[in-house]
Amino acid sequence: MKPIILLILLFAGVACHRNRNDINVDLGNDSLAVCYNKGFLKKVSEADQIGKLFQLKKSINLETKDESLIGEIEEIIYIPEKNRIIVFDKSVAKMVFVFDTSGKYLHRIGVHGKAGGEYLAPKAIAYNDGKVAIYDMGFKLMLFDLDGSFIKEVKFNSEKWRFSIDKLFLWNNKIYGYTINRDFCLGQDGKKHRVFILTDDFNLSSSVGEFEETYDFGDGDITLFNNRITYSGIFNGKIYQIGASENSENVFFSFGSLANLENLKYGDNHLQYIFSHFDEIDSIVDMMEIKNLLFVRRHNKISVITNNGILVNNDIAFNRLELPKNYEGYAARRGILFYNCGIIVATIDKSKIRLSTVPNPTLLFYEIK
């Protein structure tokens, strides 16, 4: 064994065993073990609501200008190493805004229109390594620099592209598109898939994922966990990871069926069934890696899973966090948003409201206590 490799392994071993309260969780053959402190895992395992697990660490007031007015937030991408915050307003402004980490408004990414680098109804965004991808409901995928400079785009057509994108993820020079659209989810093999993988020059590389023939709530998610692309089903309770071959995936974890899929299949009575059995229906909403653990949000609960598939907690109540004094309401569609250190809440600082002017939201950052 080469001396440098031996030194790395010895250092990793010392780091993982220097505290008797640390435990190892094996990541498999392609990664070293990750150390979890038993006290930390105990805290996560015993939490019965998110308010007992996370505490407020900082707040950022987003600057209010005529050109940066935000209605309802769909996504927030926090990039402290670049001194940037990306805010995606999907339903009101229908725009992607960029602020610095003090909250100062900097610029928009893209403009409304039909020309190159323009969009009418942005559906999903993603960021990685200085690049921002935006998917427009008009079947157009665009790529920008973080400073807003337009790079390139591709317009989908029914002959080459037979899928839409509801959620995006960029990683390792690949574009991963997750779809919930049962009418636009066909891969090159003619089968229905959840995830479509494109190269950074917009060539379709492959497609994977089981597509449940069900009525979808706009749920399901795709993220990076354990250094692998990880995505979920919606009602079938399964979480998948793409393997070494991008044409294959493995079931990383399964909650078991979260609903009676037979009754949820499209048909004459599927909407009636949903409305009459709403409390019985559960689904995977979104996921995020926080401190080497996978946080999986379902309708009313949050589950936490280690990177070797051990369920730490399956019963954290998804109640809204208690806001500090003078803050009121939630400006994000999903209430709370996960980020890689915890939770972001977008809310309104009532002390900044003057007459009929409603300011841009304040971002509250909560991290594990």
Domains, the chain, ordered by start: 1-46 (no CATH), 47-368 (2.120.10.30)
Which letter does DSSP use for residue 93 in this model?
Answer: S
Span 194-236, pLDDT tens digits: 999 999 889 999 999 999 877 667 899 999 999 999 999 998 9
Q: Which of 59, 86, 90 is nearest to 72 (CA)?
A: 90
Query: How far apart (Å, rounded) are the C-alpha atoms in residues 312 and 54?
Result: 16
What is the average pLDDT value for the chain, to the nearest integer?
87
Which letter does DSSP use for residue 67 in this model?
Answer: G
Phi-psi region of 181 (alpha: psi -120 to 50; beta: other; left: phi over 0): beta
For residue 4, what pLDDT is reported?
44
For residue 84, what pLDDT is reported?
98
Mean pLDDT of 318-341: 89
Residues 44 and 53: beta-carbon distance below 8 Å: yes
- Residue 193's CB: how many other CB atoms inside 10 A? 22
Query: How far apart (Å, rounded) are the C-alpha atoms in residues 283 and 135?
Result: 24
- Residue 319's CB: how many other CB atoms inside 10 A? 14
Q: What angle do CA 146, 150, 155 make, to 5 degrees?
A: 120
Span 160-182, pLDDT tens digits: 789 999 999 999 999 999 999 88
Q: Which residues lie below 8 Å from residue 250, measured CB to CB, with a gap of 6+?
A: 240, 241, 243
For residue 305, what pLDDT is reported?
97
Query: What distances in angstroms separate CA 270 from CA 233, 254, 266, 282, 285, one per listed residue?
Result: 19, 25, 6, 15, 20
Residues 110 and 144: beta-carbon distance below 8 Å: yes
Mean pLDDT of 33-46: 84
What is the distance in angstroms between the CA of the first residue and the CA of the last residue of the chain?
41
Highest mean pLDDT among 206-210, 297-301, 322-326 belongs to: 206-210
For residue 282, what pLDDT is reported?
87
For residue 353, what pLDDT is reported?
81
pLDDT above 50 for 27: no
Q: Which of 215, 217, 222 is nearest to 197 (CA)?
A: 222
Confidence of residue 319 (pLDDT cuts 50, 70, 90): confident
Query: What distances in angstroms separate CA 24 from CA 12, 33, 40, 98, 313, one per listed residue?
Result: 11, 6, 13, 39, 18
pLDDT above 50 for 311: yes
State the amino acid at position 349 in one-letter form. D
For residue 23, what pLDDT is reported?
55
For residue 33, what pLDDT is reported?
54
Phi-psi region of 66 (alpha: psi -120 to 50; beta: other; left: phi over 0): alpha
Assessment of whether the complete model's pTM goes beyond 0.75: yes
